Structure formats: structure tokens, C-alpha cells
Amino acid sequence: MTNDDINGLLPHVEALMNALCTREPGKLQDIVSEHFYAGGSRVRARLALEAGLALGLSKSISVALAGGCELLHNASLVHDDLQDRDEMRRNAPSMWAAHGEDVAICGGDLMLSAAYAAMAQAGPHAVQLITHAHRRVAEVIEGQCQDLRLGGHCADAQAYERVAAAKSGPLLALPIELALIAAGKAPLVDAARRAATLFALAYQMLDDLADAGHDATNGSLNAVAVHATLGMADPRESVRRTALARLEAFELAARELPAGIAQTLVLRAQAIKHALGAQLEPA
């Protein structure tokens, strides 16, 4: 399994996502296609494909898992942008900003539904995969709800990490978890989840360092504000050190997974370390 294999399969993932969201001719399908066309990192598709290929799953099952996970992630982006009033996504207006709130609700719903239709194509373990995916989606939704409720009023680093982990960990772990389940290796799901959650925390903290000013204005949950409320002398440095500690723990956790799995995260963890180093400079 090489990077070329993954790059070769990504167009099939895009085709599946589009096919499942454009069965009904109408304006919404054009908007959703436009959203997919705008791209994105497709980290979750890459994680599913690399895990699927490393575990010996067929290409069609790997593509179905990748498509399902990306559809779930994109559904959550579209609804989160609306809830958080984020006007930009991928250097363009977010769906609600460009087409209105009603369209964004419908667009996210369509992607969420399509995700399960994608997973239904994932071979003999499809039912187990769908049941597992719903459990993780429920965690993410509860995390998003808690995040919206907490907003800028959080003075508890553990509560912050619980919400941040619930909000982004499950959908980042899911591609690896589903590939493990499809390959009959369900006992490794917990290790995948641990690794992905630690990565998600570090990533969120880096994001919070970059967005501290913006989040303070909007009253959004942000690690820098939490560490400031806790009385840290240098809250930015304290967040940076915490993020580095989570990355180190991530690297240990990732080693518990079979070879070739979560490599996309391992590479990105190095980039985050680098970016966190740069945060030593005054912002």
C-alpha cells in the first residue's frame, strides 16, 4: 500500500459521495456537489483507505468506508458552520453563508443519510459497521451540543478536553475503527480510538492557539481562555505544552496499531509539532 494507491482510490471516494447525494435531481444536489468539489483535506478518507488496504480489505469496501466517513465529517462541518456562524470554509463562503440556513440544514441531512448508504456497501460486516458508526455519531452530536452550551464559560481543563475529545475524536477515529471491524479486528478498536482522540486534542489546541482572539470575541470554547481562567501565568505556553504532551501520547498509542495504519495521522502529528514550535514566537 503506497501513497499512490490511496491517491488512485480517492476519485472513487468522491464519485461515491456524489452519487449518493445526487440521486434526486434538484438544486440541493448542485449545492452539495459544489461543496464536495471545493475539496478539503480528505484525512478521514485517507485514513480509511490506508487502514483498509493495510488490513487486506477489498478496494470497494475500503472506498465505501472512506466515503461513509467523509460524508459524516462533511455533514458535521455544514451543520457546525451554521451553528457556530462560521462564514468561511475552504476559502469560500460556507454553505449557510452562501445559500441560507435552510439549505445548510437540508444539505447536512442529505450527507448524513448518504453516509449510511455508503456504509451499506461495505460488505459482510455492513450492519455491524453501521451500528458502530451511529454510536460514534451520537457521541459527536452530544459533544457539539456541550461545546455550544459551554461556549466561553469553562474553567475546567478536564471538561475542556472531554468536550474537545467528544467533538472531534470519534469521527477521526471512525475510519480506522470501521476498517478494523470490517477486517474482523474489533478488539483493536479501543487502541484506534485512543490514538485518534489524543491526536484530535493536540490538533484542537493548535487551532485554539491560532483562533484565541477570534474565539474570545465570539464567546467560543478555547483552550487558551480555559488555561487563562485557571490562572496560568502564560496560558498560551501552557496550552502549547499540553498539546505537545498529547502528541507524544498519540505517538505511543499509534504504535499499538498494526503497521501502516494511522500513518496519515503520524505524518500530520509531526507537522503539528512543528507548528506548535512556531507558536513559541510571540503571536
Residues near a second copy (CB under 8 A) are 20-21, 23-29, 75, 79, 82-83, 101-103, 105-106, 108-110, 112-114, 116-117, 120-121, 126-127, 130-131, 134-135, 137-139, 141-142, 144-146, 148-149
CA distance 29 to 99: 13
Q: What is the closest distance, in whole angstroms, from the C-beta atom of residue 56 to a second copy in the complex?
A: 22
Q: What is the closest distance, in whole angstroms, from the C-beta atom of residue 251 to a second copy in the complex?
A: 28
Nearest Cα to Cα of residue 118 among 160, 239, 93, 110: 110
Q: What is the closest distance, in whole angstroms, from the C-beta atom of residue 184 to a second copy in the complex?
A: 18
Nearer to a second copy, 67 or 235 (CB): 67
Nearer to a second copy, 1 or 174 (CB): 174
Q: CB–CB of 45/10 below 8 Å?
A: yes
Q: What is the closest distance, in whole angstroms, from the C-beta atom of residue 116 to a second copy in the complex?
A: 4
Nearer to a second copy, 197 or 238 (CB): 197
Q: What SS3 state is found at 151?
A: coil
Q: What is the closest distance, in whole angstroms, from the C-beta atom of residue 149 to a second copy in the complex?
A: 7
Beta bridge partners of 92: 89
141's CB contacts (< 8 A; 6+ apart) are none
Cα angle, residue 166 at apex, residues 161 and 169 outer, rounded to 5°: 95
Nearer to a second copy, 135 or 255 (CB): 135
Cα angle, residue 136 at apex, residues 201 and 128 outer, rounded to 5°: 140
Nearer to a second copy, 138 or 245 (CB): 138
The amino acid occupying position 151 is G
